[in-house]
Every structure is written in structure tokens, then in C-alpha cells.
Structure 1
Amino acid sequence: MNKTFISFLVLFTTLNTFSQKYDFQIIKDIETTPVTAQQKTGTCWSFSSTSFLEAEIIRKTGASVDLSEMYTVRNIYMDKAENYVMRQGKAQFGEGGLNHDVINSVEKYGVTKQKEYSGKADPNAPYDHSLMLAELEDILKKVVEITPKKYPNWKADYNSILDKHMGKIEDIKPMNKERLLQEYKINLNDYITLTSFTHVPYHTKFILNIPDNFSNGYFHNITLDEFVQNIDNALDKGYTVALDCDVSESTFSSKTGIAVVPQNEADTAAIVTEIKPEKVITAEFRQAEFENYNTTDDHLMHIVGKARDQKGNIYYKVKNSWGKESGKDGYMFMSVPYLRLKAISVMLHTEALITKTKKTFGF
């Protein structure tokens, strides 16, 4: 074999090994409702969890139902306000929330369809809560400053702002939890939130201290390997998974639809378009990144499948709420290392748990 041919072969092999563009083969794709957009709002938690419930309805009944994300948002805004006032302003108030807030809201207020409540005063306008949020905060700061006794009508004023920006809900006849169970086979007690952190004993439940956990929801703590095993088990059995995740990394690319963790910093720019080696994520490194604020509670999405690249690496197909123009037609492909490092928590059906986790928490 001549030297010229050998050199060409080495060059071809090198390029083929280190510069391969992502080419995904879908290995699991669970039916869900179409991608929607939260637009100029911080309501990913409602879009993620509502999409999850819609997928559960499909799984249970085969029916595709478009539920109203903003009906839940509207009701949770009142819960947040009461929490803020009763804690005399020493509490989180903002647009954020978590998966369990949707479950809590459906339990308390019921749920309705998108066609019955769009959450827009102007049905042709995009969602934009920036002005509304400022007005709501003004009300709350005032009532805390002068006390509820001196501002007895604050709730009426607060609700009038919600009415102005989101539309009234007085005439809405929501589907309560009993009807949800009867018509769509959804039992709100069937869902559990899992996480994995080392500062709390494994196989216990606790209140995770992150800013958006205003409602003090419980998280069930398991090892990192068990955490991933439960996600995989759920998907393999046809259950989708609601996800709370950090998306602040430059390697979470809404442009290319890729979320990965490079082994080498030099690959940071290239890895969102080309397959590169990824970091091995341990529980200790995950914990350190959480405690130093490199991993934060940024964004909630919906895991609906799995894919494999041409090198055999596995990725989660994640439905986002940034519209179809984001990522790959509205979806992200998230590597296993990225999920191990950046997933704050997941919510799934208790039937989708692995046997070990079921026994641990009594399901």
C-alpha cells in the first residue's frame, strides 16, 4: 500500500471519527400533543406539565385533548399572591413554578380546555406577561407595606389585573378531578417527583430548596443511576416524563436542538453540531455544580422519546415550549450526560417506576 493512499485513509478516518454531524435514529417515540409556545412568559412549568397530562390522556384513552395552560397559570398566580402576603413579602413571587404546581392546581381548581380559556384578553395577541407581572407585584408590595388590614380589597384589585391581561374565568366550568378520572382515567395521586442529590439521604422524601418551589412540594431522593433507570424504564414502557432542567449552558443549543456536556472545553463550540466526547457525570460532580449555582432550576420540558446517533450514543427526545421554530421542530435531543448533570427533577406515573423505587416509597 503506497504512502499517499495510507495518508488519505488516515485523514478520512480522522475526519469521520471526530467531525461527524449528528444523525439521529428515533428508537422510542411516544405520542403527544403538538408543540406549543409559551412566548413572552415564564410559564414553562405549566406548558411542560400540561403537555405531560395530555400525553397521559392519550396513553390512557387514545383521545387527544388540548388543555389550557393559562387556566392553571391564572389560578396559581392567586396562590402565589396569598403565599407572598402571608409570608409578609419574604417569599418567591414571579412567573416560575414546578411540575407539582400543575397537579396541585388541577386538584384544587380543576382543568379546562384551551378553546374554553386561552388566557388572553386579546385572542390574536401573543402571550406576554411582563406588564401584568409588574402590576401584580405593585399590588403585593403595597399590601405587605401597609398590611392587609389597611388594604382589605387587595384581592379584588389583584384579580382585576389578571382579568385585564388574561381574561375572566368566572364563567368557566372546569373539569374537576373526579370528572378527569371518570372521562380520561387520570388519577392525580398517581404521580411522583424524583430527584437525586447527596445532601439528603437517599430513599427519603424532602422539600427541595429551589426558588420556584414556593408551594413546598416534596421530592423523592434516589441515587443518580436509579434516577436515570426510572426515566428509561418509563419511556421503554410507553410513559412520558415531565422534566425540570438547567438550560443555561451554551451547550444547550435551541438553534441546533442539541443539549450535551463536552469532555473537553475546547469542544464547547463544536459539540452542538458535531459528535464529540462527553464528560462522565458522577453524583459528586452533579452535587457540586448544584451547590455552586452552575446548575439551577431554569426551565421545564417534556421527555417523549429516545434516539441514537450513528456512534450509538443515546439521547432523550424532549418536547420544548419555545415553538416549532426552536430546536428541531420544537424538540431538543438531550444526551444522557446532560440529563445526569442538569436535570433537577422529573415527574412520572408511579406505575412507570422500577421495582426498587416502588418498594422504597411504598407503591
Structure 2
Amino acid sequence: MKNILFLLALLFSFTNSFSQVYTFEQVINLETTEVISQGTTGTCWSFSTSSFLESEIKRLTGKQIDVSEMYQVRHTYPKKAWNYVMRQGKAQFGEGGLAHDVMNSIRENGLVPKSVYSGMDADASGHNHAELAALLKGMLDVYIDNPSRSLSPKWQGIVSHTLDTYLGKDITDFTYEGVQYTPKSFQAMTKINPDNYVSLTSFTHHPFYSQFILNIPDNFSNGSFYNVTLDDMMATLNRALENGYTVELDCDVSERTFSAKQGLAVIPDDEAHFKEIMTQVRPEKNITQAYRQQEFESYATQDDHLMHITGTMSDQNGKIYYKVKNSWGTDDMYIANGGFVYMSEAYMRLKTIAIMIHKDAMTKDLKKKLKL
């Protein structure tokens, strides 16, 4: 009888350990600017990468600077338009992009603070690009479908004028904190060098420790990624955070178990438990390299959102979650944790498309393997 009671108590204890309401404590908390909203736009790639750069500027210079997201959007749209037109509409044209698109823009056009280029009218309460995106695509489709197949040489100028109208004209010089800058001299002041940042991914359809162009819809600029094992990618992410480097994240947030409202992203060991795991600690699936690849190739994992990893959290059982800064605002009715999402290791292993980090955050051994 005593043995039966002991076993029942043990079973109750085990079950109860996986049915507790989540309680989190901060483990690593790296400096970042406040959470803001990308509004009604598909420009998370610029918002998240700008947030990442703001943390990098703080780390490199000690300065807290709010950089302009829309300055990079303004300079990226013409390149997307060129790609779409030259491919005769057989490419994606939309608001999406990737972290390296911001770096490409900075390399060519520099950086500016948001105070001199907000990308919206002074009386606007937020960003809304629905009309801009529809107008640009409709205009480009007209050029592409021109029966004469002879494009007007004016189309690029009209695209530029449209962007000027909706986002604001390009700027060549400005004053910031009493100092005169150009976008390139401002970039130099921030110590941001795009060549110091690398994008890592982990898929088996290309050799590990090589570069390849990741074939996802928003990679219109054909950016290359370094391919590493899943364990190496996670170890690099962890090492970066432990050593004071924040990390840019490209991932899939379409899962039922990703919730900004609850501030949580997890992968249940059984899909039937997807509701319970959003409110109670439960076991998660073991994510292998093979399972990750299977989910990617079946479109179960897709590139649909970019965010900024700024630290780690621990639940009451000592399990680690990543503290991920989102760009959907901080409305308490719909957004938990002040706009941050606590993402489990299982979710990160399965749903991460790629990460971007400063190359100094990598081990010497990994840099050697990648020939960096």
C-alpha cells in the first residue's frame, strides 16, 4: 500500500511539474531601445534590423540613437522594383525584405536618425503603407504588361517620385545634436560597418560550412547565408548573448503556439496540447536537424517575420527562453511582456530561418570553418 501511495505521489508530482502557470525570471538582459510599432506595413525587416543596430551602436559607442527605419525602406524599394521589372513580373514584389537588405542599403546610402527622416507626415500617428505598396505594384505591372514590350525610361523616376511623396525626399545632409552630418559620416560616427555582420542559417540541402543563396520569397536581393549545423547555430546564438551581443532573428511566427498576446512561443510535444501549453508549462518536442529540414521543405516553416533577440529568461523549472523584441507595439490589450515574446529553445531550433550577428560574437573555430 505504501509503495502504491508513493508511486501515486510521484506521478502527481511529475504531472504537476508540467501543469504550472508560467513564471519567468530574467537571466540575460542586453540594452535595447524601446519597443515601437511597424504599423500597417510589412517592413518588420527594417524595424527589427534597426533595433539590432541601435543595440550595436550602444555597444560600440555608448550612444543611444534612434535610427530611421524608413530611410532604408526608401532606398530598398527602387532595388525591389528593378528586380521585379527586369524579371518581367516573375518575382515577388511587396513590402517584405531581409536583414541584409538593411545592411546593403547602409553600405551604399549610410544611416540617419529617425528625428531627421521619420518616413511619415508630421501629423500621422503611425505608419501605413497599404496604399503605397498597392500603387507601386500596380504601376510596375502596367509597365511590365505594356504590349509594345518597350518600357518608358521614365518609370524609375516615377517610382522615386512616388516614394518621395509617401515617405519623404532623400536627404544629403542634416544636423544632429548640433553637429553637421551626411548619411555616410553619421554612419561612421555610429561605428556600424555592414561588412562586420554575417547571416547564419542551418539546412541540409546545401553543404555545411559553405555559403549559399537561401531560396525564400523575400530574398529578392539574392543574399548569401553561411550554412552551419543546427547545434552550431544555437551555440553561436547563446555565446553571442552571453558575451553582450544581441542577435537579429528571421523566423516563422505563423504557428498557433506563437502568441504576441500571451508573449510566448513554444512547440508542444503533442499538437493536441497546443492550447494547454500556451498557459501551462508542458513538455516540448525534441527538434532534430532532420525534422527542421522536413518542416522547411513542406512549407510548414516559412520566412514571415523578423525580430530582435535581446536576452534570455528562465521559467520556474530553470528552462531557458529567448527574450525576443517584436515590432507590433505595446498595447496591453493585445500584447504581453511590453512587446517582447519569450521563445523556447524548441521553437528557436525549429522556426528560425536565419540569424544575423557581429562576426566577433563567433568562435575562432567557427570563423575558421567559414573562412571569415
Q: Structure 1 residues 2, 358: closer, same or farther in 2, change over 3 A? A: closer
Task: Give the superposition deviation at 1:24.
Answer: 1.1
Q: Structure 1 residues 115, 178: closer, same or farther in 2, change over 3 A? A: closer
Alignment partner, residue 205 of structure 1: 211
Letter in 1 for 2:20: Q
Task: Give the superposition deviation at 1:157.
Answer: 2.0
Task: Give the superposition deviation at 1:121.
Answer: 3.0
- Partners of 1:188 and 1:175 lie apart in 2 by 17
- Would you say the 8 A contact 1:246–1:298 is kept in 2? yes
Q: Could you say what secondary structure the match of 2:125 adopts?
A: coil
Alignment partner, residue 33 of structure 1: 33
Note if 1:236 corresponds to 2:236: no
- Would you say the 8 A contact 2:172–2:182 is kept in 1? no
Q: Structure 1 residues 294, 150: closer, same or farther in 2, change over 3 A? A: closer
Alignment partner, residue 155 of structure 1: 156
- Partners of 2:17 and 2:71 lie apart in 1 by 50
Alignment partner, residue 274 of structure 2: 268
Q: Could you say what secondary structure the match of 2:311 adopts?
A: strand
Task: Give the superposition deviation at 1:160.
Answer: 2.6
Q: Could you say what secondary structure the match of 1:91 adopts?
A: coil
- Partners of 1:242 and 1:76 lie apart in 2 by 19
The TM-score with structure 1 as length reference comes to 0.94
- Partners of 1:150 and 1:254 lie apart in 2 by 44
- Would you say the 8 A contact 1:21–1:273 is kept in 2? yes
Alignment partner, residue 303 of structure 1: 309
Note if 1:227 corresponds to 2:233: yes
- Partners of 1:212 and 1:99 lie apart in 2 by 10
Identity %: 49
Runs of at least 5 residues in structure 1 that lack an aligned partner in the other structure: none
- Would you say the 8 A contact 2:27–2:312 is kept in 1? yes
Task: Give the superposition deviation at 1:356.
Answer: 2.4
Task: Give the superposition deviation at 1:154.
Answer: 1.3
1:214 counterpart (202, 209, 220): 220
**RMSD of the alignment, in Å?**
2.2
Runs of at least 5 residues in structure 2 that lack an aligned partner in the other structure: 175-180
The TM-score with structure 2 as length reference comes to 0.92
Alignment partner, residue 362 of structure 1: 371
- Would you say the 8 A contact 1:262–1:279 is kept in 2? yes
The number of residue pairs the alignment matches comes to 361
Q: Quick check: 48-57 or 117-126, which moved more?
A: 117-126
Alignment partner, residue 350 of structure 2: 341
Letter in 1 for 2:164: D
Post-superposition CA distance 1:16-53 (Å, at most 9, x none): 32321111111100001111110100000000111111
Q: Structure 1 residues 175, 9: closer, same or farther in 2, change over 3 A? A: farther
Task: Give the superposition deviation at 1:184.
Answer: 2.0
Which structure 2 residues correspond to residues 277-356 of structure 1 after superposition, within 5 A?
Answer: 277-325=283-331, 326-356=335-365
- Partners of 1:176 and 1:214 lie apart in 2 by 25
Task: Give the superposition deviation at 1:337.
Answer: 0.6
Alignment partner, residue 46 of structure 1: 46
Note if 1:251 corresponds to 2:257: yes
Letter in 2 for 1:77: Y
Q: Structure 1 residues 175, 192: closer, same or farther in 2, change over 3 A? A: farther
Letter in 2 for 1:257: G
- Would you say the 8 A contact 2:112–2:186 is kept in 1? no
